[in-house]
Amino acid sequence: MRTDFIEELRWRGMLHDMMPGTDEQLNKEMTAGYIGFDPTAASLHIGNLATIMLLVHLQKAGHKPIALVGGATGMIGDPSFKASERSFLDEDTLRINQEGIRKQLEQFLDFDCGENSAEMVNNYDWFKEIGFLQFLREAGKYLSVNYMMSKDSVKKRLETGISFTEFSYQLLQGYDFYHLYKHKNVRLQMGGSDQWGNITTGTEIIRRKEGDEEGYFKAYALTTPLVTKSDGSKFGKSEGGNIWLDPARTSPFEFYQFWLNQSDEDSPRYLRVFSLKSKEEIEALESSHAAEPHLRIMQKALAAELTIRIHSERDYQMVLKASDVLFGKATLEMLQSIALDEFDTIFNGVPQTEISRADWDSCLNLLDLISTVTKSEIYPSKGEARRALQQNAVSINKVKVSSPEQSLADFQLLQDRFILVSKGKKNHLIKVI
């Protein structure tokens, strides 16, 4: 059963621009639509997630989503709204990146659900067969340079400079659309609003080569707004840079915290774009949130749903445990319940020091341990360490140290190798090896 894809995007605030006739096409028949992703990095980031959601909703509405990995276009680099020419990625990097992105895209769509099963393609597969002369004859001839220069996406660069190579990018993307139209009956290309120029180059190539039928176009275009933040800063970045989907680059914990820290102003929009909750569910969250804003109900719902979808239920449970451990609530019992293979994940990002077992066994002085080992993060000087110990401000494995003279033998290692020193919200993990 097909549902109204455009209506869904509308209430979610995910519709930026659309070619006239796009909704008629979607209402008329099951339609294949695609989005391309260039392998500029080995992982997608949450900026890509908004466009991935277009494919997810397209499939949920009963249409066929196609994800394209830009093995060929990635060799060139999209100049759209880029201030300057970029350097090429080398071929090894491109290969690694393509593979990483392909695997991630696979997670989001259903590849086995009958006629609207998702598909994955790589434009290198057709471009590797096409020679330069053939390309000039089959693609370049159909558009004027004047038309290509009129795009907003390259306007600035025409003043500051653009290579022939980058200027040709829109032709490659345009040809992709034509190729997919011809071979897979793809009628729709989607993307972020910065892609409008490249996408309409494609619809134009298709129109010039295939004609239109009584005013009906054969191919359509739709874009989604770039996700913004109400304070004007760039969405999707933390101090550490991009928020990646790959857990090796952005840990599930950091990922969860990112969503948890979004403002009350932005969260309603982000829920609409990134969560799969219905309108009613989102509105219900908004009103419970408004009643008790300090509980951060919207942020928690968003962070939970996305951590589970991008990572896993187990990672989410781990993140909750980690928040308790790092931000207060944990008890010795909770620490003791952490399995050996969970330590790395839970304490990812917490300063750590390794000491030898011999040192640990011979280390009887608490003051020495905490002042030398946890220096800089917790205590700048031995004097301050002593003072903190005297004031009972230090915990070891979440148990308050009762006096600076207390023996280390009073504290058991967690999993026979870890000890957590904390003062307020500051933590330091010592690993005995």
Ligand X SMILES: N[C@@H](Cc1ccc(O)cc1)C(=O)O
- Cite the annotated binding site for ATP by residue number: 237
Residues making up the binding site: 34, 169, 173, 237
Shortest Cβ contact with ligand X: which residue?
Answer: 36
Instruction: Decide whether 176 or 266 has the Cβ nearer to ligand X.
Output: 176
- The residues facing 119 across adjacent strands are 66
Instruction: Decide whether 179 or 321 has the Cβ nearer to ligand X.
Output: 179
Q: In sequence order, what are the residues at sequence separation of 6 or more whose Cβ sits closer than 8 angstroms to the Cβ of residue 50?
A: 14, 192, 224, 226, 227, 273, 274
**In the bound complex, what is the minimum distance in angstroms from residue 234's beta carbon to ligand X?**
17
**In the bound complex, what is the minimum distance in angstroms from residue 378's beta carbon to ligand X?**
44
Quick one: which segment of 23-31, 36-44, 156-164, 337-345 binds ligand X (CB under 6 A)? Answer: 36-44
**Does position 266 bind ligand X by CB under 6 A?**
no
**In the bound complex, what is the minimum distance in angstroms from residue 121's beta carbon to ligand X?**
9
**Does position 166 bind ligand X by CB under 6 A?**
no
**Does position 173 bind ligand X by CB under 6 A?**
yes
Tokens for 27, please give them: 């209402």
**Does position 33 bind ligand X by CB under 6 A?**
no
Nearest to 62 by CA among 138, 117, 136, 121: 117
Give the interface size with ligand X as a residue count (CB under 6 A).
Answer: 12
**In the bound complex, what is the minimum distance in angstroms from residue 191's beta carbon to ligand X?**
6
* Amino acid occupying residue 287: S
Q: In sequence order, what are the residues at sequence separation of 6 or more whose Cβ sits closer than 8 angstroms to the Cβ of residue 202?
A: 173, 174, 175, 176, 177, 178, 189, 219, 221
Cα angle, residue 41 at apex, residues 35 and 47 outer, rounded to 5°:
55
**Residues 170, 158: Cα–Cα separation, whole Å:** 14
**Does position 315 bind ligand X by CB under 6 A?**
no
Work out which of 18, 38, 385, 388 binds ligand X, going by CB under 6 A.
38
Quick one: which segment of 15-23, 33-41, 225-233, 234-242 binds ligand X (CB under 6 A)? Answer: 33-41
> How would you label 392-404 residue by residue, b for 16+ Cβ within 10 Å and e otherwise?
eebbbbbeebeeb
Site for ligand X in 106-125 (CB under 6 A): 123
**Does position 198 bind ligand X by CB under 6 A?**
yes
Query: Please, is 144 exposed, middle or buried when counting C-beta atoms within 10 Å of its C-beta (0-12, 13-18, 19+)?
Result: exposed
Nearest to 267 by CA among 283, 250, 251: 283
Work out which of 176, 204, 266, 315 binds ligand X, going by CB under 6 A.
176
Work out which of 9, 12, 33, 36 binds ligand X, going by CB under 6 A.
36
Please list the helix, strand and coil fractions of the chain in percent, rounded to the nearest 5, in that order.
50, 15, 35
Instruction: Decide whether 56 or 401 has the Cβ nearer to ligand X.
Output: 56
Instruction: Decide whether 59 or 189 has the Cβ nearer to ligand X.
Output: 189
CA–chain centroid gap for 339, Å, is 28
Helical H segments across 224-296, by residue range? 252-260, 267-274, 279-291
Site for ligand X in 64-93 (CB under 6 A): 68, 70, 73, 78
For residue 90, the 8-state DSSP code is P
**Does position 252 bind ligand X by CB under 6 A?**
no
**Does position 197 bind ligand X by CB under 6 A?**
no
**In the bound complex, what is the minimum distance in angstroms from residue 230's beta carbon to ligand X?**
25
**Residues 252, 348: Cα–Cα separation, whole Å:** 10
Chain position carrying tokens 């989102």: 282
**In the bound complex, what is the minimum distance in angstroms from residue 384's beta carbon to ligand X?**
51
**In the bound complex, what is the minimum distance in angstroms from residue 255's beta carbon to ligand X?**
22
Instruction: Decide whether 5 or 181 has the Cβ nearer to ligand X.
Output: 181
Q: Are strands 186-192 and 352-355 parallel, antiparallel or unpaired?
A: unpaired
- The residues facing 69 across adjacent strands are 37, 122
Question: Applying CB under 6 A, which residues contact ligand X?
Answer: 36-38, 68, 70, 73, 78, 123, 173, 176, 195, 198
